[in-house]
Amino acid sequence: MDNGDVEKAGIVAEGGVRLDRALVTLFPDLSRARLQDLIRAGHVKRDGLPARDPAAKVAAGASIILTVPPPAPAEPVAEAADLPIVYEDDDLIVIDKPAGLVVHPAPGHESGTLVNALIAHCGASLSGIGGVRRPGIVHRLDKDTSGLIVVAKNDAAHQGLTAQFADHGRTGPLERAYAALVWGLPQPRAGTIRASLARSRFHREKIAVVSDDSGRHAVTHYAVAESYREATLVRCRLETGRTHQIRVHLAHRGHPLLGDTVYGGAFRTKAARLSLEARAALTALGRQALHAELLGFSHPRTGETLRFESALPTDMTALILALRADAGDPARL
């Protein structure tokens, strides 16, 4: 065993289950994803022999030895930055992400990301799971979406938060709400969009609505909050959390987000109908008008329900004020 490795042992109680599921029961402080990686890397022995297949069935009474190496250092380098921290404790940190900040390194964005700043801020406490490029990241926001995001600082917190996001709030207090400015006025003024999503076959950078049997189930609840002459402020609550979900669902209904050049390109002519002030505010926005304004979840260690709210950023507020002035006397709900 290498220096720094931790050895864990256990006996499988229930036979006929997958190895990775058996290990989740034996070692609940580690996530299933982390355990699968350890199995494939040869860190698990079953009855004294290496076991490298997470899907292999194990018998009751099997002896398991798990060797956990120290967390691999995150590849991204630490970069000090002023983080808008909403809440922080030993287990997690909640950030009010500004628009334009990439969450984790990716081709074209190798530095200057939220992960780089978190490594500098959290140091060794930052969780090493979820991939070395995404340490501690439980969910994500698009680069040009502003608002609340929670990051785990250790393995146990990562496992607990990941389980809540996978459950989509069906059995717990997970809650995610967004404010969005869209073209037109959705009808009905409150409703639910159910449309499965998958990567577009024609444009790999885009997500598309597909048939239920070829995509991932996705549900968005929306309600009109304020309407203007050409646009509407809607509030959306996610029942699932797919990539670009709100942007694609609202565009699918014929109401793409203002400033969304990926899914709302056909609506550029709508901007010509706005007042000069509203057009200037939309140009200044320079991004899709989407803000993660509410995030609630159960603390993975204490079980306490945490709920955070974020005020609209100044760029969206300025656009709303210009749209109100353009409409004269907007209808409010």
Catalytic residues: 142
With contact defined as beta carbons under 8 Å apart, do 177 and 225 qualify?
A: no
What CA–CA distance (Å, rounded) separates 43 from 2? Answer: 11
The Cβ of residue 16 has, within 10 Å, a number of other Cβ atoms equal to: 10
Cα–Cα dist 25/11, whole Å: 10
The encoded tokens of residue 230 equal 């050409």
Give the span between the Cα atoms of 289 and 170, in whole angstroms: 28
Output the CA angle 246-157-15, nearest 5 degrees.
100
Separation CA 262–CA 294 (nearest Å): 25
Q: What sign has the CA pseudo-torsion 21, 25, 28, 30?
A: negative
Strand (E) positions, the chain? 6-11, 17-18, 44-46, 49-50, 57-58, 63-68, 85-88, 92-97, 146-152, 175-183, 190-194, 197-199, 207-209, 219-227, 231-238, 290-298, 305-309, 331-332
Neighbour-count burial for 61-86, b at 16+ CB within 10 Å, e otherwise = ebebebbbeebeebebebeeeebeeb
Judged on CB neighbours under 10 Å (0-12, 13-18, 19+), 268 is exposed
For the chain, the distance separating the N- and C-terminal CA atoms, rounded to the nearest angstrom, is 64
Task: Identify the H or E element spanning 250.
Answer: helix 245-252
